[in-house]
């Protein structure tokens, strides 16, 4: 039995990860530590587990932890877990600065533990099928890519720059960047971005358009905006259009759904019938802890995705393309 605990459940994905753990017969959700006791106790009640008032007490009883804190606190929780010899699954983005991201990677290396980053879209079946097609060379050499990861404005600490490190661009850019690095085994080399706060007037970016370049001259555009209104049928999307020398591919990762007209809630909703990609992520992490293998989505993957998002912010600041090293 693999014993797992949460170090903070501030992130919205924590509840889904908790449900996933409950579905795995080889895993046990030991408990939750959260510095916000009210949030932690409420989460523990919902997940039917124990609340720990001290992180160290939880770390004594687990084999691995899931860090779902505010972005700016990822480093502290990851370093604490590494010092106690516990494997870590950290919510994306890995951190808010490159310095913190590298410190997390180093702490886990020195502690002899594995650091995995939560990019659950890798466990989406259409995404995996697209990778198989690209790997087979079915559309030839990749020339250009258009991507989107548009969603709702999440509110809360996500719109506090001190806790989040950035708005929509940081929140959503890293998902598509990680997929493209995984598909193509190439790095991003430059970024040009237009970023603004046009939708919610919250003093943090809620929209943007990124023009990126990858090794080999592959041109990529991405829309990572919080542009979905509250009444939109679902939270957002992940789409890709890939143009190759021998054809094109189009991906809509969340198209497996049907519309539900819900009079009780007075809204139209999309009801998914796809597999649970969060379950895939958590199962992969549990298997990593149990087997001792390396992380399938490493801290380095998280660092490289963060580099692109931060380069986009720098480009918007200086109003010119920025090299990514």
Domain pair 2-120+278-297 / 122-275+306-323, same fold: no
pLDDT score, position 68: 98
pLDDT score, position 266: 85
Q: For the segment 100-146, what is each residue's pLDDT rounded down to a tens digit? A: 999 999 999 999 999 999 999 999 999 999 999 999 999 999 999 99
What string of DSSP letters covers 88-136?
A: EEEESSS-SSHHHHHHHHHHHHHHT--EEEE-GGGG-HHHHHHHHHHHT
What is the rounded end-to-end Cα distance, in angstroms, of the chain? Answer: 42
Q: CATH class for domain 2-120+278-297?
A: alpha beta
- Smallest CA-to-CA distance from 128 within 255, 277, 234, 245 is with 277
- Smallest CA-to-CA distance from 188 within 198, 178, 196, 175 is with 178
H or E stretch at 301: helix 299-318
By CB atoms closer than 10 A (0-12, 13-18, 19+), residue 217 is exposed
Domain chopping of the chain, boundaries: 2-120+278-297, 122-275+306-323
pLDDT score, position 275: 84
pLDDT at 78 over 90: yes
Segment 15-21 shows an average pLDDT of: 97
Q: CATH class for domain 122-275+306-323?
A: alpha beta
pLDDT score, position 146: 98
Percentage of residues in the chain having pLDDT higher than 90 = 91
Q: For the segment 229-282, what is each residue's pLDDT rounded down to a tens digit? A: 888 888 889 999 999 999 999 999 999 888 899 898 888 888 888 889 999 999
Helix (H, G, I), strand (E, B) or coil at 229: coil
Q: For the segment 184-241, what is each residue's pLDDT rounded down to a tens digit? A: 999 999 999 999 999 999 999 999 999 999 999 999 999 999 999 888 888 889 999 9
């Amino acid at each position: 039995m693999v014993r797992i605990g949460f170090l903070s459940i501030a992130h919205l994905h924590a509840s889904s990860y908790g449900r996933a753990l409950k579905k795995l017969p080889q895993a046990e959700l030991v408990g939750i530590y959260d510095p916000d006791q009210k949030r932690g106790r409420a989460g523990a009640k919902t997940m039917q587990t124990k609340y720990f008032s001290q992180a160290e007490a939880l770390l004594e009883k687990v084999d691995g932890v899931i860090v779902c804190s505010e972005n700016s606190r990822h480093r502290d929780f990851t370093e604490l877990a590494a010092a106690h010899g516990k494997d870590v699954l950290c919510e994306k983005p890995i951190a808010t600065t490159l310095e913190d991201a590298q410190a997390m990677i180093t702490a886990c290396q020195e502690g002899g533990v594995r650091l995995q980053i939560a990019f659950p879209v890798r466990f989406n079946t259409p995404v995996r099928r697209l990778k198989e097609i690209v790997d087979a060379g079915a559309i030839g050499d990749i020339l250009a890519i258009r991507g989107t990861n548009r969603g709702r404005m999440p509110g809360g600490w996500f719109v506090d720059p001190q806790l989040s490190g950035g708005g929509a661009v940081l929140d959503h850019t890293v998902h598509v960047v990680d997929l493209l690095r995984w598909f193509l085994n190439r790095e991003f080399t430059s970024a040009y971005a237009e970023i603004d706060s046009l939708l919610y007037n919250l003093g943090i970016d809620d929209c943007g358009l990124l023009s990126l370049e990858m090794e080999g001259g592959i041109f990529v555009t991405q829309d990572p905006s919080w542009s979905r209104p509250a009444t939109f049928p679902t939270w957002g999307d992940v789409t890709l259009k890939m143009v190759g020398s021998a054809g094109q591919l189009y991906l809509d990762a969340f198209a497996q759904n049907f519309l539900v007209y819900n009079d009780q809630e007075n809204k139209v909703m999309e009801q998914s019938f796809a597999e649970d990609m969060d379950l895939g992520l958590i199962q992969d992490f549990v298997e990593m802890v149990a087997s001792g293998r390396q992380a399938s989505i490493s801290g380095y993957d998280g660092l490289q995705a963060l580099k692109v998002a931060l380069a986009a912010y720098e480009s918007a600041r200086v109003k010119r393309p920025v090299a990514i090293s």
